[in-house]
Structure 1
Amino acid sequence: MAMPRTRSGRSTSLHDSDSRLYESEKIDALEWTKIEVILSSLIPRRVSRSVPLGVLQFLLEAEQVIVEGYGVVLVNTDEAGTLFVTNFRLLFLSEGSRNIITLGTIPLATIEKFNKIVMKLPSAPRQSDRSPSRRLLQVTGKDMRIIVFGFRPRTRQRRAVFEALLRCTRPTRLLDLYAFASGPSRFGNTNPRVRLLNEYFRLLGMGSYNASIRLIEDGSFTLSNELWRISAVNANYTMCPTYSFALLIPKCISDEEVLQACTFRARCRLPVISWCHPGTGAVLSRSSQPLVGLMMNMRSNADEKLVAALCTQLVGAKEPRRKLYIADARPRKNALANGAMGGGSESSSNYFQSEIVFLGIDNIHAMRDSLSRLRDYLDTHGTTSSDGMSSFLRHGGWTWGGGNLSSMSASVSTLGDTGWLIHVHNVLAGSAWIAARVALESASVLVHCR
């Protein structure tokens, strides 16, 4: 990737410039369930504006242009083009080929943050007070991309794009999101609730049944086999807003017991079945952490009965019931620390034929910090940095190994210091361990973190 040059021919790094950061806030899906929906909000608002004919062929179904910027430069590749902010993505079209530039195009939902940057350009010694500046917009993606756009001065295009991003990445209404504005797909994708029920039917060994919207509206989807059943206790999402409308649970557990058990789990995410082995009957279940409290002594009979029901009869085995592993994805110390806030972890003495295992996977905050350090490492030692500007390679520094054993060792050490490989190892090792318990022992596994 070519490094963009200033007028003096010298490379300039974004990290050396003063910047004011405007981070896009994350939208909490939980809060959306509390929005009082009024009749007028059921109709998504449309943006009516004229769109250049050249861009229409690139727009998706119901995708609409909010703001456009002309003569914009994708600083990463020093390529000029037109930048469009739509209700779905940032879309960058090349000025020369009129094709979409993949590096400069990113869905709004995958933008982590964005900020304005003003970078002074070098000028003649006697004209330091009149030195020109570049108006830049830096967009950081959740996929580790750092995209930098340069705008022409005194056009106010950067402000228009920035304000459009603020509105579109933080909509005031749920129905303003592109997912709702697009409506039913013309490609015939089935309703997600229908797909969920068809998967449940398959797990129950009833693959010949076909779910439908009418079946859901009638509430007649609560089928069962000898072990498991589909419950409609969360049909209106009132019990747990972050669980699906239909839940797969043990047949011996009533809806009343489900409502009791959910109060013992964080955010009411009680143990529910995600997958069932077609041959052995072992299940993978998920939940949130139990609310055992600081002294780890709080209990719930309904929760213990629900978890024990996952230990079904083994087929043709001497043991009357299969073993249950409760895989707590956190390090043990994190689980104990959560006890101070009312959470915690299970005790094997309270749950029938169970064993508690801690997988040692760090929380999301540690993951983000590690990912940030990994990005810095790639910017320093990679062939191409994430923003196309800040690598040592751009300033004539040494390459990854540079043919020097000591510098190569330093690079490897820095990569290890990011902690990213350890996180990846822990996730893969935990997944492999769970799969082995199901395959080799025909055991059921309940997985949760916090």
Structure 2
Amino acid sequence: MEIIKKPKVEKVRMLERFTAAEPAPGTLYLTATHLIFVDPRNKKETWISHMHVGSVEKLPLTPGGSPLLVRCKNFRSATFVFQREPDCHDIFTSLQQLSQPVELEDLYCFHFTPRSTELRQPDGWDTYDLSDEFRRMGVPNDVWALTDMNAAYEVCDTYPSLLCVPAAASTAVLLGCSRFRSKGRLPVLSYLHSNQASICRCSQPLSGFKARCLEDEQMLELLRGTNPSEKLMYVVDTRPKINAMANRASGKGYENENFYQNIKFYFFGIENIHVMRNSLNKLVETCESKTSAMSTFLSGLESSGWLRHVRSTLEAAQFVAASVEQGVTVLVHCSDGWDRTSQTCALAELLLDPYYRTIHGFQALIEKCWLAHGHKFTDRCGFIQQDPKEISPIFTQFIDAVWQLSQLQPQAFQFNERYLLTLHDHVFSCQFGTFIGNCHKDRQDLRLSERTYSLWGLTAQHLSEYTNALFDPTRFPGALKVGLPPQVVRFWRGMYSRFEFGVHPRECLLEVANYLSDHNQSMRDHIRLLEKRIGQLESRLNNADPESGESADGAATADKLADRRHINDQVNANLQLPPLSVDQLTRELDSVAVDWVSPRGVRECSCTTSFDHFSKKFHCWRCGDIFCQRCLDRWQRLPGHLQGSPAPVCRPCYRLLTNSQSVDSQTA
């Protein structure tokens, strides 16, 4: 590419905070998609996607060379020191252009080709369907109807083509209400609870100081009427009231209580996108501070206000969820209804419905509340060159809030921290087309489902990595109730200091729990097979007739053996195993590792790839050794498992198994 002026620079040093060792010189490579630093002494590779690069800054010259600071959207901060200033300048100018494409068509997702043939282009695009999600909630029904009046996106171009509205609402009411709402975002159903209370969403009304709209008033009355068991409906404006009042000067604002009957209004102080952007910038500055004083970090954390903002979104969502659970329908809006509204609705539904706390359900929640209803991912995440004032960490804040809930009640969530971090990383990586565009219409116009890969296709292939070993769906079958005192909202070190390798524990407790869960699963399956084989051996040993005689002992022994054979026959009736032989028993016993290597002391894979805090270590279920993801890329049935489900194995074990197993062995 012409943009890449220097694809390789040698004798570059990468500086790391909290590491006392002198950085070793390595080689820096600049490709069409990544910046790669290879440290031969520590056998380590650092890959930085161009789309993850948030800013590039040339620092003042030092006696050691010319430093280049690269800040990333996934909170990696890397400083590279070049021996020659021209090399530093060439990398600087190239990175500036590569990290800020001009057109959406230049994004990585339109050129990405996976290394593995197992990930197919259509995978994941059919995972979610809005009409299926409505049917899961029992819609359409007597009071709610699905309408395709927005099929051509003429009513609202930032809403999906399929809308759920009150069945009694006429077309005239819907159109009139849409014209009275900012960006045409009329009230529509987001979630229907089992008690018929619902969460609806919209944008602010164009009320100004005195304007009113009869169709809008009728629409809100129809929304209230969808829940006949409750006379009141709540309208939750997620903005600070002073901000909503200021919007009246521009002809917008909030609902006039004198014009809307049987409705109670609440304001929540969730700040706007500019405050959130500044807050996160201050948090990042605090995390990158060169001083290690505790007071400096705590004062920086407090002055950023980030935890306070995360808590405010959780409090709004908690109020909405509690209201719906009590049987009250809630209408949520902010200014345009695609930032704070998406946060509040999604978090409230996460609290209310255990389905959304599963991996598949969480994907459906993101698709519905964020993608389908028009959160502006392209603008808020800064995928291409644009007005920097449009960039804001709204989705980052949502992911943080979900993590806070998962820490309060770990058993309620099927997914783990790694899953949330993977989602956050790939929102900004632009490697997949899932989050490209500002609305559903944009994604259709770009034909993303035909031209790009889906993130959901990738996550479906690695569910074991993202599953929380502590998940127990029986503990929280309904709404999730959590307390939100200030003490429980924590700084998420795994997100904002993930790449500061000197500040993390050697092993994450949840990762250890996952290792133990996998080992336990393997052992249980192996034990079931051994119990089966023991039963077969007992039957074979007892097949000989009991000694002839009329004694009571002889008769009792015969009855006992007959009962044992009968029980054994029942257990084995539906199981087909290879014939019992010494060779087969040896093969089964050798195919399952009883002892697994402890992950604590393992620093690198056999391929010399180093492990860090974020690198997941994978066990081979046959030999019990630890490998990196690239080396443990085979799945094979183990003869020593009863169920016969494919298990992860290393390449040497895979070759042994495929050469020695019988013809009926299967690979994943």
> Of the candidates 114, 117, 136, which is equivalent to residue 202 of structure 1?
136
Identity %: 31
CA displacement, residues 408-442 of structure 1 (integer Å, 9 cap, x when unaligned): 5x8655543332332222122111111111112x1
Equivalent position of 1:281 in the other structure = 196
1:187-198 aligned at under 5 Å gives the runs: 188-191=122-125, 195-198=129-132
2:285 to 350, 360, 376: 376
Whichever structure has more helix as a proportion of its residues is 2
Residue of structure 2 aligned with 1:445, choices 308, 330, 333: 330
Count of residues paired in the alignment: 325
Secondary structure of the residue aligned to 1:445 is strand
CA distance in 2, matches of 1:272, 1:165: 43
Question: Structure 1's 416 and 182: CA in aligned 2 closer, same or farther, altered over 3 A?
Answer: closer
Q: Secondary structure at the match of 2:59?
A: strand
Asked whether the 8 Å contact 2:279–2:304 carries over to 1, the reply is yes
Post-superposition CA distance 1:323-350 (Å, at most 9, x none): 2211111111111111112221112332
- Match for residue 108 of structure 2 among 165, 171, 178: 178
Is 2:337 the counterpart of 1:422? no
The one-letter code matched in structure 1 to 2:77 is: I
Q: CA deviation at 1:112?
A: 3.2
Determine the C-alpha separation between the residues in 2 that align with 1:115 and 1:253.
55
Query: Segments of 4+ in structure 1 off by > 6 A?
Result: none
CA distance in 2, matches of 1:325, 1:275: 15
Decide whether the 8 Å contact of 1:292 with 1:342 is kept in 2.
Answer: yes
Q: What is the deviation of 1:145?
A: 3.4
Scaled by the length of structure 1, the TM-score of the pair is 0.62
TM-score (norm. length: structure 2):
0.44
Q: Helix, strand or coil: the match of 2:102?
A: coil
Which residue number in structure 1 is paired with residue 55 of structure 2? 113
Q: Secondary structure at the match of 1:309?
A: helix
Q: Please give the secondary structure, in 2, of the residue aligned with 1:186.
A: coil
Residues 174-221 of structure 1: per-residue CA shift (max 9 Å, x gap): 22222344489616534369533321232235xxxxxxxxxxxxxxxx
Q: Distance in 2 between matches of 1:111 and 1:233?
A: 41
Q: Distance in 1 between matches of 2:282 and 2:240?
A: 21
Q: What residue identity is the alignment partner of 1:233? A: M
Cα shift readout 1:22-77 (whole Å, capped 9, x = no counterpart): xxxxxxxxxxxxxxxxxxxxxxxxx799xxxxxxxxxxxxxxx9974433432236
Per-residue displacement from partner, 1:251-303 (whole Å, max 9, x unpaired)? 222445433322222222222221111x112111222211112x2x1122222
Does residue 106 of structure 2 align to residue 167 of structure 1? no
Seen in structure 2, the aligned counterparts of structure 1 residues 135 and 154 have a Cα distance that, compared at 3 Å, is closer
Question: 1:5 maps to what in 2?
Answer: none
Deviation at 1:94, TM superposition (A): 4.0
- For residues 250 and 357 of structure 1, the distance between their equivalents in structure 2, rounded to whole angstroms, comes to 23
CA distance in structure 2 between the aligned counterparts of 1:152 and 1:68, rounded to whole angstroms: 16
Answer yes or no: is the 8 Å Cα contact 1:290–1:346 preserved in 2. Answer: yes
- Cα separation, 1, equivalents of 2:172 and 2:126: 27
RMSD: 3.3
State the partner residue of 1:304: 217
Provide the C-alpha distance between the structure 1 equivalents of 2:306 and 2:188, rounded to a whole number of angstroms. 31
- Structure 1 residue 171 displacement after superposition: 2.5
Deviation, 1:154, is: 5.5
Contact 1:87 1:178 in 2 (8 A): no
Corresponding position: 1:291 with 2:206: yes
Cα distance in 2 for residues equivalent to 1:76 and 1:105:
15
2: distance between equivalents of 1:343 and 1:192?
38
Match among 45, 62, 67 for residue 136 of structure 1: 67
Q: Greater share of strand residues, 1 or 2? A: 1
Unaligned runs of 5+ in 2: 18-22, 336-668
Larger mean Cα displacement after TM superposition, 360-369 or 141-150: 141-150
* In structure 2, C-alpha distance between the alignment counterparts of 1:149 and 1:414, rounded to whole Å: 26
Name the CA distance, whole Å, in 1 between partners of 2:252 and 2:227. Answer: 32
Q: Larger Cα Rg: Structure 1 or Structure 2?
A: 2
Whether the aligned pair in 2 keeps the contact of 1:87 and 1:177 (CA below 8 Å) is: no
Structure 1 runs not aligned, ≥5 long: 1-46, 50-64, 122-132, 206-223, 379-385, 394-398, 401-407
Deviations 1:307-336 (A, max 9, x none): 222213546x4x5x4x22111111111111
Q: Post-superposition shift, 1:88?
A: 5.5
Match of 1:405 in 2: none
Q: Is the 8 A contact 1:249 1:273 kept in 2?
A: yes
